[in-house]
Amino acid sequence: SAVVSQHPSRVICKSGTSVNIECRSLDFQATTMFWYRQLRKQSLMLMATSNEGSKVTYEQGVKEDKFPINHPNLTFSALTVTSAHPEDSSFYICSARDTVPGGDQRPRQELLQLLLHPSRPTEC
């Protein structure tokens, strides 16, 4: 079973809505969370690195007000895609690292496919 749980796993939204992507670590303490996106036919890109209880570090070109991240404790982090539009359609991937001494240092990850449809009537 996955050691990082991300919800939802696939969502189709109306343009202009905000989408909240939740990521939970199930069997370890996620002191550090990494958020990635993979646009169609492009390689995986790191968006931001989040350390529990402290400021999020955003990569160049990624706007904090567009993609706010909340990481309040060692088992939960959430990324919001605000005012989502078709160009935001992407795979969004969260990866968590356990930094406990002697723990497993390999990142564990899950992904979400976010699709945005200009005229889809349902809200997310």
Is 112 domain-assigned?
Answer: no
Is 36 domain-assigned?
Answer: yes
Query: Among candidates 6, 13, 2, which has minimal Cα distance to 117?
Result: 13
Q: How many C-alpha atoms does 113 have within 13 Å on its Cβ side?
A: 4
Confidence (pLDDT) at 79: 92
Instruction: Give phi and psi for 88, each to the nearest 5.
Output: -90, -5
Is 87 domain-assigned?
Answer: yes
Confidence (pLDDT) at 2: 41
Q: Which of 5-14, 34-43, 75-84 has the lowest mean pLDDT?
A: 5-14
| Three-state secondary structure call for residue 75 | coil
- Domain of 52 in residue numbering reads as 4-100
Query: What is the number of domains present in the chain?
Result: 1
Q: What CATH number has the domain bearing residue 13?
A: 2.60.40.10
Taking the whole predicted model, whether its pTM rises above 0.85 is answered as: no
Is 118 domain-assigned?
Answer: no
